[in-house]
Every structure is written in structure tokens, then in C-alpha cells.
Structure 1
């Protein structure tokens, strides 16, 4: 991860992001993604005025969870492919049982055949790191979930970090800041399991005590409430679509081509190295290596034989305790304590 990012101001990060998102096609006059205010792009789902608080400039939203309710919002429109992004800061201290979700879905329209792309952040007991998972569903394929779980190389409660879902007709890429952490390339064998219908962007915080932390062993402790997650500088960019349309219209087909000219569509060699390093160090579950669930890996899986040896047949990382010298440089890397949680949930 480029350490320079940590020293940049909020304004500089926003400018840099918009430059990154600007189309790369020479001479093209295509609309570039822009930060969208809450009033212009979103609507409240639940929580009431006391649990969803908006900043004066309408670019930041605070979502609260207390003993009465959580909070959530969604984009006003649905999009057939696009970029969905926000800078997020998670609650700190004791966060067991909490889930903060940033995802796209059309479940409100297609109850039995919905599509979904997820970032789900899973809280933990005090002193243990946040974990998170990514997932995708296509055409209601909930029995064929494609979960991956990870830890992070930073404390997500200390500062904002940008989380991005990039979705086109041919690929899906999940980013954290400028690091791609997961890429799914569409192929014919996936069929309708690849999300293809218009989706809205959602963001929520809620009580998932029954499963989120160690299979429900640790519940939300409202002694520490309210739990607050902050989201700012939201970006939604794609073709606004009628969810019941079966075919892309000409405008959406053109937008899909435009998305393929953007920075996020091409992973550079440096980013490929960063993604590989992330997945080697911080991924502790992958459905692709879960041979109990999938004796034959799903068709989009690219099996890394060296990485495969590190996983059990359950798809979970084999427990290992790493020893490092306590150098200044080494202290900047997440230590082996993250492995202590891997066999607990």
C-alpha cells in the first residue's frame, strides 16, 4: 500500500480519486464519476433522524446502531453496471456482533432471483481486529455463495479508507484505496451466476449477534453504544436503469464501454503484486479452496497451487503462528495476532 496515501489531506484524496476515475481514452468526452451528495443521490432506508445524521455539506453520513435500531440508506436509482464507492470509517472499541455493510443489490425488486455484490465488515471483541468479507450472488444463487474473508493491514476505525465496487459486463473488482483485493472475470460457465440486472447501492449498520462474531458466541454489548460508522465522498456512476428492463438500452451499452476506459478497469503490474500480497497475507477463507462445499471449484476460480497448500479442506487458512523480530519496519505490518481468530468463526 502506498504510504503516501496516509499523509494526504481529505481534499487531496478526493482530487486524486476523481483524476483516477477520469476516462483514459484520448480525446473522449465521457462523463466522469463525481462525488454525489446525499440529497441528490440517496434515500434513507431505516433508522430515523437520530440514527442517520448528515453533515452540513451533505457529503458525509453517520450511521448509528443503538439498542433500538440500526440505520441504512440506498441510492435513489438503480444502475446496470457502474462504480460504487465511499470512504468509510468503522466503529472502534468493542464491536462484536456488529455488521457494517456496503453493497449493491436488487433484492427489493427480484426477491427470488436477486443479484448482489458485498463488502461486509464484521466487528470483534475489544483488542481483536475488524474482519470483512466480499461476496457475490447472481440470479438468486444464494446456495452458491462466493464468500472470501480477510483481515486488514490497518485499523479501519482510525481513519477513512475508500472501498470500491467496480462492475461491468465482463468483470467485478473490489478495491480498498488503490489496492485491488479481488477480481472476478465473467465466463460462459458462470451463466446467470454473474450479476446482470440493475442494482442499487446500499449501506447499513445492524445487529448480527446471532452469527457475526465467532458464530454468535459474542453478542453486541450496548454498554458501548452508540456504535457509529461514518461514510463520506460517495460515488455512484453508471447507467440509470429500469430494473424490469430485460435488455440494455443503447445508452447503457455505451456506458459499459465507457466504464472499460476507466482507471479501475485495468489492474497494473504493481497493483497485481499488491493484490497477490494482500491475498497471501490477509485472506483467511476462500470458497475456491473449500473442497467440502465445492469438490469441483466454481468455474471462475483461479487456483493458486502454492496458496492452496495453506488452506484446509474447509477453505479456511491453516493455523500458523508467525515469529517476527520487533523492528520498526516490522511493526508497520499487521502481526501474527490476526491468525488467532481464524479458527474461531
Structure 2
């Protein structure tokens, strides 16, 4: 029994190493993967392939991927705004289009100097969100780059920080909970002013004397089923939806995710500061969402 267990762990580790190598092989320059879609004059590429987004009193800025993706893993290394970042939000997210869109969000809520950043994650499914969780981090995200990732397959969605899961949203369609699995999503990054809500519920406003506020991206890694512009109008599940077709559907991935449950519990026990599933007052009239049960 022990030998079988160790064999499965070894197999899982080999898979992780293979996946890491594959991710590195799939790393590409910013211009190959993305285009600036908001205030391109506020997005600057350096000779070291770092992409700096800046926010001032005139505008924020943002970029989006040239392809859309259905299932897989998408990552970026990010260094957040340093110093007094109150009122600012740096977003790294995936989203489809239209009023009934699906979306996966990392939103980094700035704070006054000396106070920690808050990482807010959220999901929209068929246009409905209100699934926020908020965490502190176990490091200062302004000092160095850290990796933020989405992992997405038919069974679950993981939000990862330095490959440590901070949140999992599992498929509970059997309980009539909607799950995002038919809409391909683009990958986006943006920096913007949200001082009406971002810091202490909007009580602390952006101090524009500290502008420009700058956040930096690097090392984008996308290993997902991509659809180019001429494929967007087709049903994405035709190309990307066949079960077992890609590595993220393989049985070994399920075993690797089991090993991450301890990490997920560690994050929840030590760094979770808000979970919509525990906000009884917010959903009192209708009861907590079905996925919370």
C-alpha cells in the first residue's frame, strides 16, 4: 500500500516537472500574446521584457490577450505599486464578452503606506458575480515579483499565488450551481483608480501627489486551449471541450490537486479575511448561494 502511494506521488511530481517545463517553453514576449486596449501611452515595455502600467489623474491603462482561452493555466509575475497605493487597483483577470460573461479576477487593493495589500478574488458566471473572497499575503508584493495564476478545468478553478492555491471553486452542477465551461475568456491586466471603494470601503482616497502609480508585469505563461480571432465565433467546446484531450484533464492532475488541499487550508486558516460564503447578513433575504453549502 505504501509503495503504491509513493509511486502515485512520484508520478504526480514527474507530471509537475513536465508541466513546469512546458510552461517555460510556452512563455512568450508580451507583443506576441497581448495588445494594449486602454491608454497604450501609459504602458511601457522595458529591454528586460517587463511591462510597466502607470496610473495618473488623467487615466489608468490596460491590455488584453490576442486569443481567448477555454481551460488550462495562465500566469504572470507581478510587482505591485510601491508606497502609498491607497485607492488604486491592479487587476489580473480572465473574461469573456457580453452581459452574460464569465470572469475570473485577481484584484489587488492598494493601501496606505505600512498597511498590507488585500487580494480580492471573484468569479462571474453567466454575468453574475458577488463571489468575493479577500486575503492578505504572506509577503510584501511590492518588493519583488510573485507569480499569480489561474488553473481551470471542468472540475475546479484554482487561484494560485507562487503556485500555492488561495482559493478553489469546484464544479457543483449536480446541485444546480452554474459553472463556467462554455465561454472562452481573454486574459487582461489593468491599473485604475477605484477610490470610491478599494481602500477601507472608499474612506481613504487616492493621493494624486504620489502619481504616477506604477505596477509591473513580466514572465507571462499561458498553457491553455487558445482560440484565435478567426475562431472566436465557433463553439469553443468543439476545439477545447473534449474530455481527456489536454493535460489539465488527466487523472494525475486530480491527484496533484489533492496534495494542495493542505496548502489551501493553511491559507484559509491564516490569511483569509473575507468570504462571501460566510456573509450571512449580505444574503439574509435569499440565503447563502448554493455553492456555499
TM-score range, shorter chain: 0.7 to 0.9
Partner of 1:187: 172
CA separation of 1:163 and 1:251: change in aligned 2, threshold 3 A: closer
CA separation of 1:166 and 1:33: change in aligned 2, threshold 3 A: farther
Displacement after TM superposition at 1:71 (Å): 1.5
> Is the contact between residue 22 and residue 32 of structure 1 (CA under 8 Å) also seen in structure 2?
no
CA separation of 1:31 and 1:222: change in aligned 2, threshold 3 A: closer
> Is the contact between residue 34 and residue 63 of structure 2 (CA under 8 Å) also seen in structure 1?
yes
Displacement after TM superposition at 1:252 (Å): 4.6
Displacement after TM superposition at 1:198 (Å): 0.4
CA separation of 1:182 and 1:138: change in aligned 2, threshold 3 A: same
Q: Where in structure 2 are the equivalents of 1:253-272 lying within 5 Å?
A: 253=242, 257-261=246-250, 266-269=256-259, 271-272=260-261
Structure 1 residue 155 corresponds to structure 2 residue 146: no
> Is the contact between residue 169 and residue 256 of structure 1 (CA under 8 Å) also seen in structure 2?
no
Alignment partner of 1:40 out of 9, 32, 36: 32
Displacement after TM superposition at 1:224 (Å): 1.0
Partner of 1:313: none
Partner of 2:198: 212
**Normalised by the size of structure 1, how large is the TM-score?**
0.72
Partner of 1:75: 65
Displacement after TM superposition at 1:66 (Å): 1.2
Alignment partner of 2:218 out of 232, 239, 264: 232
> Is the contact between residue 213 and residue 219 of structure 1 (CA under 8 Å) also seen in structure 2?
yes
Between the aligned partners of 1:264 and 1:86, the Cα distance in structure 2 is 21
Which string of whole-angstrom CA distances, capped at 9 and with x for unpartnered residues, describes residues 73-105 of structure 1? 111011111211101100111010000000000
Q: Secondary structure at the match of 1:78?
A: strand
- Which runs of no fewer than 5 residues in structure 1 stay unpaired? 1-18, 25-29, 303-345
**Normalised by the size of structure 2, how large is the TM-score?**
0.84
Structure 1 residue 130 corresponds to structure 2 residue 126: no
Higher share in strand: 2
Partner of 2:45: 54
Which structure exhibits the higher relative contact order, with contacts defined as CA atoms closer than 8 Å and separated by 6 or more residues? 2
CA separation of 1:209 and 1:44: change in aligned 2, threshold 3 A: same
Pairs aligned (count): 272
Between the aligned partners of 2:243 and 2:29, the Cα distance in structure 1 is 25
Displacement after TM superposition at 1:272 (Å): 2.1
Partner of 2:84: 94
Between the aligned partners of 1:263 and 1:201, the Cα distance in structure 2 is 26
CA separation of 1:222 and 1:268: change in aligned 2, threshold 3 A: same
- Which runs of no fewer than 5 residues in structure 2 stay unpaired? 1-14
Between the aligned partners of 1:163 and 1:250, the Cα distance in structure 2 is 26
Q: Secondary structure at the match of 2:270?
A: helix
Partner of 1:301: 292
Higher share in helix: 2
Between the aligned partners of 2:84 and 2:95, the Cα distance in structure 1 is 29
Displacement after TM superposition at 1:113 (Å): 0.3
Partner of 1:280: 269
Q: Secondary structure at the match of 1:231?
A: strand
Runs of 4+ aligned structure 1 residues displaced above 4 Å come to 30-33, 262-265
Q: Secondary structure at the match of 2:218?
A: strand
CA separation of 1:102 and 1:177: change in aligned 2, threshold 3 A: same
Displacement after TM superposition at 1:45 (Å): 1.3
CA separation of 1:209 and 1:264: change in aligned 2, threshold 3 A: farther
RMSD over aligned Cα atoms: 2.6
Partner of 1:197: 183
> Is the contact between residue 166 and residue 264 of structure 1 (CA under 8 Å) also seen in structure 2?
no
Alignment partner of 2:18 out of 2, 18, 22: 22
Between the aligned partners of 1:146 and 1:251, the Cα distance in structure 2 is 26
Q: Secondary structure at the match of 2:134?
A: strand
> Is the contact between residue 109 and residue 199 of structure 2 (CA under 8 Å) also seen in structure 1?
yes
Q: Where in structure 2 are the equivalents of 1:168-183 lying within 5 Å?
A: 168-183=153-168
